[in-house]
Structure 1
Amino acid sequence: MDLLLHLRGFTAVADEMSVSEAALELGVDQPLLSRRLRALERELGVELVDRTRRQIALTPAGQALLPRARHLVDQADHLLRSVRRHERARFVIAAPAGCDPAPLARLVTLLEEAGVDVRLAGENPAPEAAAWTVEPCDPDAATWVTRLGAATAPGGDERPISLGALRPRRGGESTQVLALARDLDEPGGRLRRLADGAGIGPTTLRGAEHGLAVAETLAGRATLICARHEAVAYGLVWSPFIDPVLRGHRLVEQPPVPAPLAGGPVREQALALLGASVGAPVVAGVEVTGEAAE
């Protein structure tokens, strides 16, 4: 006899005080549940349910068994959940610092609903166990391309500007131009080359840690080159560059991947949300809508 199966039936009957309702709860036929209950009574040598009344009730033996039966059923359920959780490989996504958290949160929800046990990790260094790693690269070879612009203190103008508009003016007050290390140190030095071509030399353009760069910009002492989501998160005014000043990220994928992410709509939505987290509105022809696109 499957003792656990029969104890589960007994506890269901005790909860519902009805064999028919307990059968519905367990998804089995009523006659089958009745046979299991009688088989359990024969195995234990006692009556667990008083059937002489109009509404069934537990006998003293049934009342004594109930808490022990509940404990065994709960422990078995806990054991099954633990084993299944460990058997299911955790899907690790290594995302770069400064990602927009709203699309990342939607990505986690999407994957959990698809049955994927997901964990977010940082990029420095990316964990070896990461199945998906988002890493910087040249925009020409990127999975996602993010447009950069100039962030200034509140009260500024959001109209598109040229990169050259940030160069020092002869006889005018010079404003420091800051950029995040990820953009200044990108492969190929694209931003430095574009800045040099626009007349913004290394004495004007310098790298800064994100928090310090935002503080200097909020204080009105600097202009920060960054993506839109990195500016609006702190209340800065963001003006996109007319010039093609871009940041690139690519996806590095380590197989195997869970079935929902091997292809189809879940994968497309996941990649779109991951792209939106780095400021790219479109990936693989899938446009992000809702919060991620704002």
Structure 2
Amino acid sequence: MNARRHRPNLVSRLFAAVVLASFAFGAAAQERDQVERRVQSVGTLIESSSAAQQIDGSGVAAARERRDNARLIHREAVAALAANDVAGASKLLDQCRAPDDGRRALAKPEQVAGEKHKRDFEARLESARALLAAQQRITQEKGATKEAQDAARSIERQIGEAQAIAAQGRHEDARPVLDRAYLTARVSIESMRRGDTLVRSLNFASKREEYDYEIDRNDTHAMLIKVLLADRKDAAPAMAPFTDKAAALRSEAEAQAKKGDHAAGIRLLEDSTRELVRAIRSGGIYIPG
């Protein structure tokens, strides 16, 4: 009698567990669908919205930098989703600055220069922190190499130094230090993501599009070198052999692209960026490469 009495309860519990599991599976699938739609819509906003077009044609560096940062974090969201990290992808999408944020940088400058410097510093600080968080996540994902860990510590130290200077009201003086942290984070992320065939295949519809990405990656490394040289003129002789070779390779890449051979241009740009990585390391920042 006891066995008969308990059997329906067991069946009921099993049925309830199946129902709950079905709901959980359905909820997870629905959440993934929502994040996939967000990935697509954010990508469209960044690449082809009216705000993105306005930024492209503006020539205003601050607006383009904000859009470039959103583009980089969006790529990280795509990679996270491809790895089934739906929650991580959603958080990264939350960090993407919409093109309208960049379009605000096209507005007229403030009458008071100090307020503008403060606002620019705070915007760059937000971007630097977001990139640092992405860099730390990728470092863990890829096994936390010593170079990547050193880069993360360097970025954290530079952000702290910039904040200390800004706390004294010297936002204009703090900005170059923060720029170095921001660019170090970008090149570190790009170096770790380089060669990730899954990410590349998801993001590049053609060799021309991949070539454009490699141009942007090369430009980012070159900008970091300019920031380094502004602070450390004594590093120029050690960096020169690498930067000279990188410039020559970049010229060859552009010549190949003009002929329509973007595949050759990509290979040459990758070689050029590797030389820039060597130059950056010789300047005292040990980024992954």
Q: Which structure's relative contact order is higher, taking Cα pairs within 8 Å and 6+ residues apart? A: 1
Fold-level similarity (TM above 0.5): no
TM-score when scaled to structure 2? Answer: 0.22
Whose Rg is larger?
Answer: 1
Higher helix share: 2
Higher strand share: 1
